[in-house]
Structure 1
Amino acid sequence: MLTAEDLRQARWFGGKSRTIASTRVADSGMLASDAPFYLLEVSYADAAPETYVVAHRLEDPAVAHAVLAQFRGSTVGTERGRLEFRPTHVLDTTRRDELDPARMMSGEQSNTSIRFGNALILKLFRRLQFGPNPDVEIGWFLTEHTSFEGTPPVAGSLTYTSADGCEASLALLQRFERNHGDAWTTMLRRLQSVLEGANSNESLEAVRRLGATTAELHLALATPTPDAAFTAEAVSAADVEAWYAAIQEEVRITANALRQHGTEVDMPALLQRAAGVRSLENTVKTRHHGDYHLGQVLERDDGSYVIIDFEGEPSRPLSQRREKRSPLRDVAGMLRSFDYARMAALRAGDMYHPGRAARATGWYADARGAFLGAYLPTAQRLLPADVGPALAALELEKAAYEVMYELNNRPAWLPIPLAAFSAGP
């Protein structure tokens, strides 16, 4: 069993900053032959316990293929529960000669992924959370009930059921999408050229493609269905008041944190911006991405986009991440990502050079216009006639989240969200 020190060294362990009080094995079993796993419950002195999935020997290609074979439809007992491997039609269309080599991918923090040739990718969720996983259920919905081509089709999923009948997602199997990097990397490369004086047309055309793909995603998530978890609903007065209260609370928490660091903000102005969320009443709420930014999008070789990772903001409870909201919440997240991109590109060179700074500011304004210009005409039936007030409120909500993250993790980056939080886009 992993020791406390072993856990702190594990890339996927999320409790590195907490004091570990104790650990215990909650269940154990075999994912496949020669692939043991166990569920490790970690208790903290200063926080609620968490359970992590510890799996061994997955770096061995033969073991990885043995696990993959289980997705044909196996049920496996564990010491105190069971595992269910559930396939979709996508797995039946996968050619076996495309599944080599099997190798574990590097770079991930919270999950572990294994790539099978150019055909499939298996994501193992390291933190066990009971209840439907948004990444799994949204992936299944888009694969089985829509024609949307901007996300990797689901080939299967792995579910753990405890002795008392509670379910949790352990893994998601998807088609591997060939790409030449995430949109953060490709957009930053284009943007750096713009800051050096290149024409911005290529980068803005890429932004337009992303806006169009985002609109197609939101329409797909509004596809009529008898599944109550995905049925589009009208936004009620109670909805907008609850959202307004939540944004108010987040703004107050953020303002208090900033005050402790010597920064004051104009609370009446912030709360007035937050009230813009009320303009969403009588529009449509659906499932949405929930943590939408350039790093959650892959760019294919032909320039089209693939949207990934529908888990939502990891710090929020699972129930919150499954809530239906206005699709504009994703739009706000992407617009905030453009702001981060322009500042990251600016910081990569002489950020005080007046020409570069002016080009960065101009590009950000143009990128916002290009994205919304491509997005709004397609998604209009889901939105208010004037998206401005709601978008300002939702960007404020996202900026508040970013300020708290940067205060706690990357203080040097704080000026980026602080400017948006204090004054807006």
Structure 2
Amino acid sequence: MTDDGRVIALPDHLNHWVATQRWFAGRGKVPRLVSIGRWTLPATEPGVDIRTELVFDESAPTPTLYQLPLTERRLPLPGGDAALIRAAGGSYLYDGPGDPAYCLALLAFILNEDSAVPGPADAGARGELLLDAVPGDGPAVIVTSRVLSGEQSNTSIILDGVDAAGGAVRPVICKVFRMLHGGENPDVSVQSALARAGSRFVPEPVGCVVGEWADPMRPGSWLTGHLAFAQEFLPGVEDAWRAALASAGAGEDFSEQARALGEATAAVHADLAAVMPTREATPAVIAAELDRMRERFHGAVRDVPALAGYEKAVEAVFRRAEEAHWPRLQRIHGDLHLGQALEVPGRGWVLVDFEGEPLRPLIDRTGPDVPLRDVAGMLRSFSYVAGTVERSAPGNHPPVRHQGTAEWGAACRQAFLDGYAARSGRTLAGQEALLDAFELDKAIYEAVYETLNRPSWLPIPLEAVRSLVSTVSV
């Protein structure tokens, strides 16, 4: 027990259930979870108790805090088998996002700006509206909820509702952050700042839940951070990854869409530079960033032996970047790729998921950064589309590069850069070496990921490494 009086070991059935979830960081291991705080929500449905446990994994080599919303029912939830954690002793325990009672209570908590004040040994939470208008611009009754499939680091809930006259209102998507950090979550702060600036390239935020909990690493101290984020949901739209994959597979030109995506990225960068802090890229900042790139490369060589032969060439790319012109640092997306852009009819491209790379420390995701990091991420994504199409071609085993697919990727990359330059009002001339370094850093990360998760896909990032280092002399 801590000085705050609350460290409660969770039962084994919760440890084993958490071990199976995609958002759990300790893949292949069963955690040893203790609850360091709890807050509750009122349920409008009888026979249902709703609580959220903030749980700390004592067995993890890196201190990790998770959010675990739970509902406990006296009767089973119809159609709730996928969310069922345990049934025993006349009680049914469910993962909260899979239970409509939790989903409705959570959104009501946000819209009503309610508070659950912490006691001396518990967690607290409060709902906050982020804009004056909410979806439907008036009271709504939520009629259905469902969990969005495919999420990894978080859990997103889609809520559909009707107004007082029975007409449909704009749906809401509520993201429940599973891995918690003290401080602002950039998905909330960055997207809200863009919306307040009038950007049409982001979904409209609705509200958030801000939590307060005892710091498990510093007894007697408290942390504050975001627990959930609600925003408008854009139904029936396709992300850029799927659209580009279909285009490349059919041999269709995608340059117009790629150019528009470059323009949208530049517009978001311009708005972020206008409404959030910026700072100069000093020699110390540049040296620190390149040191991190070198460190990531040397770590990658241990996992990907095929990278070992590129050490001198990689260092040459980094040295060129050090001598290049670095733009002023500003807030960026932080994890930009084709899957983070939605094509909305009549509106164009909309960028989503401003949380940044979830596995990076929060402090690294909430400060000014180099906008070319986002540009490099999108360039790599276009190359991945081309590589994916090559791998999936019938009879193409082992994969062989096809000139048409390679040309498709090159055309999209150039169109994206042209659109970015046109909207930003400046060319990227003089920054090619810097862009190469960020793209190389991303490709090295991809090589590690593929080695650990999809070894047969390793040729895609290795080809990028070969291409990027081939233009430098060592």
How many angstroms does 1:358 deviate by?
A: 0.9
Aligned to 1:81: 123
1:365 aligns with 2:407: no
TM-score, normalised to structure 1, is: 0.89
- Whichever structure has more helix as a proportion of its residues is 1
User: Which residue identity lines up with residue 453 of structure 2 in the other structure?
Assistant: N
Aligned to 2:242: 185
- Alpha-carbon spacing, 1:417–1:80, altered in 2? closer, same or farther (3 Å): same
1:24 aligns with 2:65: no
User: Which residue identity lines up with residue 246 of structure 2 in the other structure?
Assistant: R
Q: Which of 172, 175, 179 is the aligned partner of 1:127?
A: 179
CA contact (8 A) 1:265 1:422 kept: no
Separation in 1, partners of 2:398, 2:300? 32
- Alpha-carbon spacing, 1:276–1:311, altered in 2? closer, same or farther (3 Å): farther
Separation in 2, partners of 1:280, 1:140? 33
CA contact (8 A) 1:188 1:341 kept: yes
Aligned to 2:430: 386
CA contact (8 A) 1:221 1:286 kept: yes
1:42 aligns with 2:57: yes
User: Which residue identity lines up with residue 148 of structure 2 in the other structure?
Assistant: M
- Shifted more, 118-127 versus 272-281: the winner is 272-281
CA RMSD of aligned residues (A): 2.4
How many angstroms does 1:111 deviate by?
A: 1.1
1:61 aligns with 2:100: yes
* Identical counterparts, % of pairs: 31
Count of residues in correspondence between the two structures = 408
How many angstroms does 1:384 deviate by?
A: 5.9
User: Which residue identity lines up with residue 292 of structure 1 in the other structure?
Assistant: L
CA contact (8 A) 2:281 2:329 kept: yes
Aligned to 1:331: 375
Q: Which of 321, 340, 349 is the aligned partner of 1:277?
A: 321
Residues 6-405 of structure 1 correspond to what in structure 2 (within 5 A)? 6-18=17-29, 20=31, 22-33=32-43, 34-44=49-59, 47-57=61-71, 58=96, 59-71=98-110, 72-78=112-118, 80-92=122-134, 94=136, 95-97=138-140, 99-117=142-160, 118-144=170-196, 146-163=197-214, 164-194=221-251, 199-200=252-253, 203-223=254-274, 225=275, 230-259=276-305, 264-279=308-323, 281=325, 283-302=327-346, 304-350=348-394, 351=396, 357-380=402-425, 385-405=429-449
How many angstroms does 1:98 deviate by?
A: 7.4
Aligned to 1:5: 16
How many angstroms does 1:267 deviate by?
A: 1.6
Which consecutive residues of structure 2, in runs of 5 or more, have no partner in the other structure? 1-9, 44-48, 72-95, 161-169, 215-220, 470-474
Query: Partner of 1:3: helix, strand, or coil?
Result: helix
TM-score, normalised to structure 2, is: 0.80
Question: What's the CA shift string for 1:240-265, capped at 9, x where partnerless?
Answer: 11112111222222234333xx5542
- Alpha-carbon spacing, 1:323–1:281, altered in 2? closer, same or farther (3 Å): farther
- Alpha-carbon spacing, 1:385–1:63, altered in 2? closer, same or farther (3 Å): same
Which consecutive residues of structure 1, in runs of 5 or more, have no partner in the other structure? none
CA contact (8 A) 1:339 1:364 kept: yes
CA contact (8 A) 2:39 2:123 kept: no
